[in-house]
Amino acid sequence: MKQLTTEEWTNVFKEAESLGVSFIMLAGGEPLLRWDVIEAAGQMKNILFPIFTNGTYMDDTTFAQLDKCRNLIPVLSIEGDKEITDNRRGAGVYDRLIAAMDGLHERNLLFGASITVTTENIREVTSPAFMEKLVSRGCKLVIYVEFVPVTEEAKHLAPSDAEREYLLTAMQALREAFPELVALAFPGDEKADEGCMAAGRGFFHINSHGGAEPCPFSPYSDVNVRDLGVRGALKSPLFLALQDKGILDDDHVGGCVLYEKRDLVERILAGESV
């Protein structure tokens, strides 16, 4: 199936705006490779678009677009210090990230950082020293994304319950030490909102081909916005079943209820009774 066109993404944004949506995250892959989508988002002045980017495609053209369209907020992916970041994202990426941050700061452009939290970097990325480096470069937002494995071989990288509690405690200390910084954890902060907000309870995910999914960590879809639009996607039988069964309210082990219960999600998608 082909990716959504510029016109189709524009229609998604306009319909979302008509429904009162004020916050749409653009992620990838690398969203800056779809410059047409970035330009379309820039026209939607009533919606904030955090753009989750690896930072390696930022140049003067990007800076000019961000300056013109202040509703576009770059969120740069960083994993810790130079060694940790380059080990995960490739040699030289850390230096390019820092150069991008400095370029944004010099132009007084708002930006944030996205950090995938694993068992290997959790102490580094929650340290005051690491946060001071980000804040000193003008970073105003930090989003901690807890690692969710997609293979058995990667399960050791997923934070344990104890480590997730450590993360939330460390975040509170960082908020107090850096009051100018907004710090969020996903999915950890959802517990304060009475459970998982996926499947249309608070948000849902649209993949590049238009499939409406409960969230990026649960890539299952039974409807497409190309056919039904945003309103139709919100009435997805899968979404409604997940809400009706109380699965999203469940107090579960681990960071992501839909990942932990992926077998159940697959049974619902297959039309089985659960």
Residue 253: pLDDT band with limits 50, 70, 90: very low
End-to-end distance of the chain based on CA atoms, in angstroms? 30
Quote the CA–CA distance of 241 and 80 in Å, as a whole number.
39
Pick the CATH number of 6-186 from 3.80.30.10, 3.10.450.50, 3.40.50.970, 2.40.10.120: 3.80.30.10
pLDDT of res. 255: 58
Instruction: Give the residue extent of every domain in the chain.
Output: 6-186, 205-269
Average the pLDDT over each of 63-77, 185-199, 215-229 and give the range with the smallest value.
Answer: 185-199
By three-state DSSP, how is residue 23 classified? strand
Q: What is the pLDDT of residues 162-196, one digit of tens each?
A: 998 999 899 999 999 999 999 998 876 555 556 67
Q: Which of residues 250 and 10 earns the better pLDDT score?
A: 10
Quote the CA–CA distance of 93 and 23 in Å, as a whole number.
28
Whether the predicted pLDDT of 74 surpasses 70: yes
Identify the CA nearest to 9 among candidates 26, 33, 22: 26
Q: Which of residues 132 and 247 earns the better pLDDT score?
A: 132
pLDDT of res. 244: 82
User: Region 95-105: what's the mean pLDDT?
Assistant: 97
pLDDT of res. 114: 97
Which two tokens mark 241?
A: 């079943």
Q: What is the pLDDT of residues 28-55, one digit of tens each?
A: 889 999 999 999 999 999 999 999 999 9
User: Region 151-170: what's the mean pLDDT?
Assistant: 89
Identify the CA nearest to 111 among candidates 146, 145, 148, 62: 62
How many CB atoms sit inside 10 A of residue 31's CB? 21
pLDDT mean across residues, the chain: 91
